[in-house]
Structure 1
């Protein structure tokens, strides 16, 4: 079910729908009643780990607790067309596909993804997927199947941002199928990274780590040079995020530090971050992921220390990385009592990626808590309320 509620408010609504008391949910989810109460009234953010625990207690995924986001007006038809194109994965059309035009469309889709232009990306994906499918079946080359895999990766990205987990899981299945048509170790590693993302959004962090570790071992055997470093690095970024959200924080810290160390070693191969297949790896993106991981481990001050030179870290990265990093900084600042800093970073996140305001669950949650803590509206809160559609 889609919702316009921020995650903490959505959790409260889900609990009440079941007729559960806060005490009952807290006991089943193994969190304190005080923490749950603060989350529900908006004095504390709902963390991914608590969302996963509450979801497990209620028989739901973490993504469902965070709340699905519906498409904007005019988006239902292209969404239905996209689902239809995904069903026809082995039924290539007879349309003529000009390879140069296909590559141009792939580049445009990647740019929309990097810039978080959600509406534009959804509008073009159905035709792009059908064209890439037809081209892959006809050409039957590594490059053509890689191109199709890249389209499915963008479908996964779009679905995961909205918490449409049925579509996300189908997309990664199709993505893996595409890269398996011709030997493609790098494509397989990137597909595994996206597959692990479905475990991340579902709250199954342990099995997500299994996927990551297995893919890292394969990439280390089958790739070499910077391609190996890129694949291993991207997978380690996913691994540290999964580890940071483990229920057992001692185990989470151990696993996170292992992936952080491995990612930093791989990043030494790059002077600046690479953007390949619209996945980014290098020293800068590693730092943004360490911030998020330290925060998920309950170490907000350590998290903020990682990004003390935040402008240099974010320089050159696309909005799809800048905005979530600013949101994570805002979340960390809330945890250390800096509500003004949190408001500033949330504002900067939504200014660089306005369409993320509506679909990013933690951004919406941070705004809800910032609003609650400020107790009264101010011009910036009013502006962000209009941008996000969240009433004060």
Structure 2
């Protein structure tokens, strides 16, 4: 595998290509010159807000800053092309309608693979499943359940495209998910689509716009009425998306507001742990993980460390590998920010053990590995292994 340029290297190259000195570029990004120098010199990680600022200053996408999509053995071009084709021909599926019950089993398999962060395995089955589900829904006319299955499968497809850095594909998938969700007449399916739509703005670093999507979705969902477990999971998940967007936008008031609503809803679930509905996970455990991440984005790593310490050996019950993996990555970010380098490495090792494909592809795990490897502990064998797995070194 060829060495993948790191985000700091990409910023330096793009800055020079535009004829910008570090002083002017730093001013355009709203950061200090010394901070920019550390970023370009692999002494500090490129956080999502910094990537967003760099993308605006340099007129490129955040994916270009991070070097996404990452070219590695994990990326299966043939399967991605098959998925693109399936998404493109959304009204013209080539697959036949499967036997009764087979599609439901396939959907459950897809949702489990997504939660387990087994993106390659999920990618292999998605094109055919999408075609079968669409053929079934078209034959069934206005059957809400059939269209709900299509919408949920597009939710799985979004997770794959997003994690592999295929942001243009992710945008197209969300439009198809919306197309299917509108045919369900189900507010939960439409809210799940809004959750992913806000995610496309989050990936692009357009946090204000993403927050507007969330707030509109919350308002519409509340107006639709409803109660029960599914209502709590859906509404709580929308607020958690708002926590991410607001914290990356450095809006403490909005962060606290969304977090307060999420905690209130989590209490209503009682002691059932975190629940999964329409590819959305919600409960007290996941809410705590989002709060931890918000402290990092708001430059409060000490508070993030305080939260992460008791979760090392006893993570919230009921959370899938996708969430535990994210906990480990954020734990590593907090440890690095507080200069606990050995602890950051331990968190990363655990992330690879729990969710290897996610950790290999996630921009922030790669950034933490890059800083540890390049600046601090190049000679450590485990860091060398992680750097090779992520393509950061030959």
Report the counterpart of residue 100 of structure 1 in structure 2. Answer: 101
1 CA distance for matches of 2:261 and 2:80?
A: 38
Report the counterpart of residue 90 of structure 2 in structure 1. Answer: 89
Deviation at 1:157, TM superposition (A): 0.9
2 CA distance for matches of 1:159 and 1:11?
A: 24
1 CA distance for matches of 2:58 and 2:7?
A: 15
Question: Please, which moves more after superposition, 308-317 or 136-145?
Answer: 308-317
Deviation at 1:10, TM superposition (A): 2.7
SS in 2 for 1:89: coil
Report the counterpart of residue 320 of structure 2 in structure 1. Answer: 318
Question: Please, which moves more after superposition, 374-383 or 337-346?
Answer: 374-383
Query: What RMSD over aligned residues (CA atoms) do the two structures have, in Å?
Result: 1.9
Deviations 1:36-77 (A, max 9, x none): 111111111111111101100111232332221246558222
Deviations 1:199-247 (A, max 9, x none): 000111001111101111122122222222111100011000000111x
Pair 1:60-2:60 in alignment: yes
SS in 2 for 1:45: coil
Segments of structure 1 that go 5 or more residues without pairing to the other structure are none
Report the counterpart of residue 336 of structure 2 in structure 1. Answer: 334
Q: Residues 257-268 of structure 1: matches in 2 within 5 Å? A: 257-268=256-267
8 Å contact from structure 1 (residues 219, 232) kept in 2: yes
8 Å contact from structure 2 (residues 117, 355) kept in 1: yes
Deviations 1:321-346 (A, max 9, x none): 11111111111111111011101101
Give the 4+ runs in structure 1 shifted more than 6 A. none
8 Å contact from structure 2 (residues 233, 280) kept in 1: no
8 Å contact from structure 1 (residues 3, 68) kept in 2: no
Deviation at 1:4, TM superposition (A): 2.2
1 CA distance for matches of 2:117 and 2:374?
A: 27
Report the counterpart of residue 245 of structure 1 in structure 2. Answer: 248
8 Å contact from structure 1 (residues 67, 361) kept in 2: no
Pair 1:22-2:36 in alignment: no
8 Å contact from structure 2 (residues 332, 343) kept in 1: yes
Deviations 1:238-292 (A, max 9, x none): 000000111xx3xx10110000000000101222100112221000000111111
2 CA distance for matches of 1:38 and 1:337?
A: 15
Number of residue-to-residue matches in the alignment = 387
Q: Residues 344-355 of structure 1: matches in 2 within 5 Å? A: 344-355=346-357
SS in 1 for 2:101: helix
Deviations 1:336-371 (A, max 9, x none): 110111011011101111112331110000001111
Pair 1:150-2:149 in alignment: no
Q: Residues 258-337 of structure 1: matches in 2 within 5 Å? A: 258-270=257-269, 271=271, 272-310=273-311, 311-337=313-339
The 3 A distance-change label for structure 1 pair 255 and 377 is same
TM-score with structure 2 setting the length: 0.93
Report the counterpart of residue 130 of structure 2 in structure 1. Answer: 129
Report the counterpart of residue 379 of structure 1 in structure 2. Answer: 381
8 Å contact from structure 2 (residues 70, 165) kept in 1: no
Deviation at 1:304, TM superposition (A): 2.0
2 CA distance for matches of 1:347 and 1:390?
A: 16
Which residue, 230, 235, 239 being the options, matches 1:232?
Answer: 235
TM-score with structure 1 setting the length: 0.94
1 CA distance for matches of 2:6 and 2:77?
A: 22
Report the counterpart of residue 121 of structure 2 in structure 1. Answer: 120
Deviation at 1:168, TM superposition (A): 0.8
8 Å contact from structure 1 (residues 287, 307) kept in 2: no
Segments of structure 2 that go 5 or more residues without pairing to the other structure are none
SS in 2 for 1:99: coil
SS in 1 for 2:268: coil
The 3 A distance-change label for structure 1 pair 94 and 313 is closer
Deviation at 1:375, TM superposition (A): 4.0
